[in-house]
Amino acid sequence: MKVSVILPVYYVPEPELVRARYFFLRNGMPFEFAATASVSRGYLPVMPDGCFDFRAFKGKHDFDHLLPDAVRVPPGLQPEKAELLAGDLCNRALSLKGFGQIGYLPPRSKQEAGITVILQNRTTKEERRIPAVIRLLPQRRMRFVAAVDIALLADWLALQQTVDLFLEVKAGTLLKKLRLHADPHAKLGNYGRCGELSVTKYGNISIIPAAAEQRKRA
């Protein structure tokens, strides 16, 4: 009788990746595979040629046969993202809709997933957090919607302080704080007098106080 094995959608069967995974497990390293640009806990950087960067392990582990010379990033292993699809700011509330993801393994259930909207004062770096409502999507993404009472922003905007928007994305045991980026086709609506949703020169989302926005236009 032939037995079929159905692998999870996040499993990457390439032999080089499996061998490298054994290298990390054997040496007690809390690393996973992801296309990211930093080497902080749980993250591996990626070279310009599209291969994982193992240079940090050379030297001490040069003679470990499990450490591969080069492993290409699989196409299905996506980088982390926090993107805004639509946002409205009025005198009563800030409404946001978008998606977030970490380029590791997709969460398998809502218990393993989560998105929190972070409002960060650009001047003082103080943070205020609002949990978002999420829906899991098959493409490793989490769609989110969030509504923020304008009272959480009013004092900062009254002091002419810009507010930068971030997402804290949870996937399993991993947490990543990401700057909220505007989708190329993001729809922004500004209907209030206290400030304005704005896209920075780097494509990120911020709320600019009303007077500052008027000076910007002038």
Query: pLDDT higher for 209 or 37?
Result: 209
pTM of the model: 0.67
- Provide the mean pLDDT of the chain: 80
Residue 193: DSSP 8-state: S
Dihedral sign for Cα 154, 143, 203, 173, please. Answer: positive
pLDDT of 139 reads 64
Residue 16 has pLDDT above 90, yes or no: no
Quote the strand ranges of 49-111, DSSP E. Answer: 81-89, 93-101
Q: In this predicted model, what pLDDT tens digit does every residue of 61-85 receive, in sequence order?
A: 877 878 777 777 666 555 678 999 9
Q: How far apart are CA 133 and CA 144, in angstroms?
A: 5
Query: Each residue of 110-165: pLDDT tens digit?
Result: 888 899 999 999 999 999 999 999 998 876 679 999 999 999 999 999 999 999 99
Closest by CA position to 17, among listed 38, 37, 56, 44: 44
At 41 the pLDDT is: 45
Range 81-217 has CATH code 2.60.40 = yes
Q: In Å, what is the CA distance from 170 to each residue of 8, 21, 142?
A: 19, 22, 10
Give the start-to-end residue ranges of the domains of the chain.
Answer: 8-77, 81-217
55/146 Cα distance (integer angstroms) = 41
pLDDT of residue 38: 42
Residue 14's pLDDT is 62
Between CA 46 and CA 38 the distance in angstroms is: 9
CA dist 109 → 123, 138, 142 (Å): 37, 11, 11
Alpha-carbon 166 to chain mean position: 9
Amino acid 22: pLDDT:
78
Q: Is the pLDDT of residue 3 over 50?
A: no
